[in-house]
Structure 1
Amino acid sequence: MAGSRLSLRGGLRGAAVAPAVRLSRQADALASAGDAAGAEPLYARALEADPTLAGTHNNHGNALRALGRLQEAAAAYRAAVAHGLHEGMAHYNLGSVLRQAERHGEADDAFRQSLALRPDHAEAWNNRGNLLRDLGRFGEAATGYRRALTLRPDWADAHDNLGAVLYLLHEQGGVEEAAALARLWRRDHPANPLARHIGAAIAGEEADARAPDDYVRQTFDLFAEEFDRKLAELDYRAPSLLAGLLAEEERRSGLDVLDAGCGTGLCAASLRPYARRLVGVDLSDGMLDRARTRGLYDELQAAELVGFLTERPGVFDLVIAADVFCYFGVLDDAFAAARAALRPGGRLAFTVEELDPADGRPHRVATHGRYAHAEAYVRAAVAGAGLSLRRCDHDRLRYESGEPVMGLVMLAERTPA
C-alpha cells in the first residue's frame, strides 16, 4: 500500500520558506502523477532548504519507498515524526515500510504507535495483521483483521486476509481457535460470501450445496493477477491431465467447445486444435481479462455456469471443466445442465478432487473452500444426469501444503438418441 501524503508541517523560517514550499509542492504534483523518480530530488532539495518541514519528510519517504529505497524511506518517516508529525498516519507509513524491509520488531512498534494515536484506522489494523501473519502469529493476525472489518465491514481484501489466516491457523494445529474465530466471522458478517463459505468450512459447520457465486467471483477477482504463478508453484496439472485425456479419446475436430470456468485460459491452447469455435465462461471478470490476453477464444462470457449451460441447449460438442466442480458439493444440477448443452455424442471432460471412501460422505468441503467428491457419488451423478461415463482416471491434480491432492479425471458422453 502506498504511503499517504501529508500537508506541510514544521517551522517556516526566513528567506528559505518560499523556495522550500515551492519545491515541495512541485514534488507533490510529480508524486501525484506517479513520477516518484522526478519527485524525490525535489523533496530532497526542499528539505535542504528547510529540514523542519515534517510533511515533506513524510512525502519524501513515500517517494523513496516507491523507488525501493526502503532504509532511506524509513529514515524519512522517522524524521517526519521527529519534526512534529506525531500522527497515526506517519507511524503507519513507517510501520508499512519497515514490514517491507523485514524489520519486523520495529514495524510492530510503529503499527502499535499508529493505532494508539488513531484506533479507527482500518488499514493499520489490516497491515498489522499482515505483519503478524508474516511472523506466524496467526490468531493475533485474525484479531487484527476482525478489527479492520469492524471499521470497514465490506472490505474484500480484509475478508480475504481473514479467511487465509484462519486456514493457516487451522493447518498449523490451532483447530479449535480457528473454528471459534470462524464462527465469530460468520456471526458478524452473515451476508459476506467468504464468511459464509470459508467460515463454515473452518468452523466445521454445514456448508451450502455449492460455493456461493459471490464467493467464487470475489476470490478469483482478488487472485487473478497472481493465479498462473501460484498454480505453477503448486505444480497444478488439471489442464495438462485433461489435455492428455482428450489427446487419447477425442479424434474429432471442427467442434463447438466450451471451456467452463475457463479462468485465465490455461486450457485454451490444448482446446484450440479441436475447436471450430472456442467459448470461455467464468464468474470472474478479473480472470476473463487474463484469458482475453491469450487471443485464443472466439467468445468470453461472464456468467454463472449452470445458468449459462441451461440457456444453450444442444449448442456444444465438447465441454471441459478443469477444477470447476470442486466449487460444487451437489453435482446434479451442473451435470444435468452440461448434458442439456451438449449435442448427441457430445462429451464432458472434467476433474474433481477425490474424497477418501473411508470418509463415508458423498462430498465434503475442506478448509480451503473446495469440495472433494467420492468416486461412487460422481459416477452416480453422471449416470443420473443421463450421461455415459467413458473413462475415469486417478491422478495428482496439484500439491496443497506440500501434500499431493489426488483427483478424478473423467470423460462422459451424451449418447446419441
Structure 2
Amino acid sequence: MANASQARFNAEAAAWDSNPVTVQSSALAYKSLLERIPGLNTKNPREDGLDVLEIGCGTGLLSFSLHPHIRSLIGVDTAAGMIDVFASKAASRFPATSASASSAANIAAVNVLLADPDDFLLQEAAALARQGRVERPARFDLVVSHLTLHHIPDMAAVLKTVFGCLKPGGRVALTDFEDTGPEAVYFHPEEKREGVERHGIKSEEMERLIGEAGFEDVKVERAFVLEKFVEEEGRERGFPFLICLGRRPA
C-alpha cells in the first residue's frame, strides 16, 4: 500500500512537469551539478562519461537535463505514477523508429525502493540491460537526488546504500531545501505536509552523516535560492537549497 507521499506523487505525476516551481527547481539543481561535477563536462560523454544513479527521479526533469552529459542514467522512484511519466517521456523523445533511438538505451527508470545495492544492481539494473535499455554498470560513478532527502525516514541508512552503489572514487551530489528554522515548514502547503519526514536538511547534520557513511571530501554548501509563493503568508519567500557532496575513497 502506498504511503502518504507515494499517494500524493502518484496523483500529481501527470501534471508534475507543468508546475513552474518544480521545473525551475530542477533547472537550478542541474546548473549546480554542472558547476561542481567535472565528469559532467566531458567532450565525449557516450565514451568516457559517467554512469549515474538518480534516487527519487520522479518524472525525469533532472534526468533528461543530465542526459546529454552522461554515459548512462538509471533513475529509481517509489511512486509508480512518476515512473510511468518518465517512461512515456523517454518513448516520446526517443521513438524506436527515429535516428535518435539509440539514445534511449542509456536512460531508464524503475519503480523500486532502493535498499540493498547488490540486490538492485543484480536484479533491477540487470533486467534493464537484458531489455537493451541500459548497459548495466557494475557500480555508478555518480549518485544524485533532488528534493528527495526530506522524504527519507532513515538518512543514515540511505547514505550507506548510496555509498554501496558507487564505484571507488565515485561521487554523491544531493540537493534539497535547507532547514533554516520554523519558516522552512512553509516550503510545502499545509495540505501537502503529510508524509514529509523533515522540513529541510541541516548542513552540519548532513556533513556528519555523509562522513559517517564512509565518504571523504565531504562538503555541504548553499547552492541556490528558490523563490516560491507561500499561500499562508500571501507572498513570495526565498528558500535556500543545499548541495551535499562527497566521494567514495578510491
TM-score (norm 1): 0.43
- SS at 2:84 equivalent: helix
SS, match of residue 312 in structure 1: helix
Q: Deviation digits for residues 324-381 of structure 1, max 9, x if unmatched?
A: 111024410111110110011111111122112x66xxx9x97524322221111111
Q: Which residue of 2 aligns with 1:293?
A: 88
Equivalent of 1:399, from 228, 235, 248? 228
Q: Which of 250, 253, 260 is residue 37 of structure 2 equivalent to?
A: 250
Structure 2 unmatched ranges of 5 or more: 40-44, 91-103, 123-137, 231-235
Report the AA paired with residue 352 of structure 1. D
Contact 1:261 1:305 survives alignment (8 Å): no
Find the partner of 1:345 among 169, 191, 194. Answer: 169
Q: Is the deviation greater in 366-375 or in 340-349?
A: 366-375
Alignment root-mean-square deviation, CA: 2.8
Q: Tell me the secondary structure at the aligned position of residue 89 of structure 2.
A: coil
Contact 2:220 2:242 in 1 (8 A): no
* Whole-Å separation in 1 of the counterparts to 2:69 and 2:22: 25
Counterpart-to-counterpart distance in 2, 1:309 and 1:215: 28
Q: Say which of 71, 88, 94 aligns to 1:276.
A: 71
Equivalent of 1:382 in 191, 210, 218: 210
Larger Cα Rg: Structure 1 or Structure 2?
A: 1
Q: Deviation per CA, 1:130-151, whole angstroms, max 9, x where unpaired?
A: xxxxxxxxxxxxxxxxxxxxxx
Paired with 1:397 and 1:379, the residues of 2 have a C-alpha distance of: 22
How far the C-alpha of 1:398 sits from its partner, in A, is 4.9
User: 1:225 aligns to what?
Assistant: 14
Distance 1:278 1:384, change over 3 A: same
Match of 1:305 in 2: 114
More strand by share: 2
Shift of the 247–341 alpha-carbon distance from structure 1 to 2, 3 Å rule, reads same
Q: Which amino acid aligns with 1:305?
A: L
Alpha-carbon distance change, 310 to 348 in structure 1, aligned in 2, over 3 angstroms: farther
SS of the counterpart of 2:224? Answer: strand
Q: Percent identity?
A: 24
**1:215 aligned partner:** 4
Q: Distance in 2 between matches of 1:310 and 1:355?
A: 33
Greater helix fraction, Structure 1 or Structure 2: 1
Q: TM-score, normalised by structure 2?
A: 0.69
Q: Once the 2 structures are TM-superposed, how far is the Cα of residue 266 of structure 1 from its aligned partner? A: 0.1
Structure 1: tracts of 5 or more residues without a match: 1-192, 194-212
